[in-house]
Amino acid sequence: LDASLTQSSKMAALGKLAAGVAHEVNNPLAIIMEKAGWMRDLLSEEDIKGSPNFKEYEDAVQKIEFHVRRAKDVTHRLLGFARRMDPLRDDINVNILLDQTKSFLENEASFRNIEIMTDYDRGLPCITSDASQLQQVFLNILDNAIDAIDKDGVITVTTRHDKEAGAVVIAIADTGKGMPKEVAEKIFDPFFTTKKVGEGTGLGLTISYSIIEKLGGKIVLHSVEGKGTTFTITLPVS
Ligand code: ADP
């Protein structure tokens, strides 16, 4: 209970931070965009068109606009996360959703000689949940599993109906590098990543955690350094 309380307050803090940053960054971006528009207007004037540096001016304005759009995309995503909508209520067959998610990653996996095996409970009851949010969680975890293996290994996806708990249990196990305790303790923290700049944002599992929590479920992990990691998600059957 303690751990999940801490995680909830971290999520709330991240939501506030994200909204604050997005707001603070959006204002200067709007001004930069407006000035770029003004420069673009200047470039359409005849005497500038004849300038020997015209191409460079035009290129500079284009780059400013392109990168401002990129930055706006980031702030947009942060705001989307901060105000994440209430989950939808779809009727989901988890086995089918997992198969779909798996098919997105099949190319990348086979390229790295990673086999994604499945062991499904065919009698799994449907659950009422948000399919696209749940799929995002599966994608994040499978993506991380592929990264943890890097080359040559197996990912096993298992589903099971826990009748006593009234829950569907999904386990995603990889034969990757695993993680030490110090890393395992931090993986749900916002912006925590061990990946290179540009390869990881450290938001994947933070967002996954908050999605599963909103869906009324639980997510836990078990990891052994040098052996692999298993993520287990429990979702209530309504
Ligand atoms: P990112 O993937 O962008 O780094 P995540 O929040 O998805 O962000 O993951 C945070 C960190 O957790 C990763 O950088 C990695 O160190 C660790 N991690 C996540 N999944 C695994 C896994 N299956 N095996 C080993 N380490 C993992």
Q: What is the ipTM of this complex?
A: 0.98
Structure tokens at 174: 């990889």
Confidence of residue 138 (pLDDT cuts 50, 70, 90): very high
| More confident position, 215 or 151 | 151
Sheet holding 218-224, edge to edge: 114-119, 153-162, 167-174, 228-236, 218-224
Task: Please tell me if the CB atom of residue 148 comes closer than 6 angstroms to any atom of ligand 1.
Answer: yes
From CA 120, how far away is CA 139, in angstroms rounded? 18
207 in contact with ligand 1, CB cutoff 6 A: no
Would you place residue 207 in the very low, low, confident or very high pLDDT band (cuts 50, 70, 90)? confident
140-150 tens-digit pLDDT: 999 999 999 99
Average pLDDT, the chain: 89
Mutate to test the pocket of ligand 1, among 141, 175, 205, 212 (most ligand atoms within 8 A of CB): 205
* Torsion angle defined by CA atoms of residues 109, 110, 114 and 119, in that order, rounded to the nearest 10 degrees: 80
Contact 103, 54 (CB under 8 A): no
| Ligand 1 center from residue 144 Cα (angstroms) | 6
C-alpha torsion sign, points 207, 78, 195, 188: negative
Q: Answer yes or no: is pLDDT of 92 > 70.
A: yes
Q: Is 228 near ligand 1, meaning CB less than 6 Å away?
A: no
pLDDT digits (tens, 9 = 90+) for 5-31: 666 677 677 777 777 888 888 889 999
Ramachandran angles phi, psi of 172, nearest 5°: -120, 110
Judge if the beta carbon of residue 179 lies within 6 A of ligand 1: yes
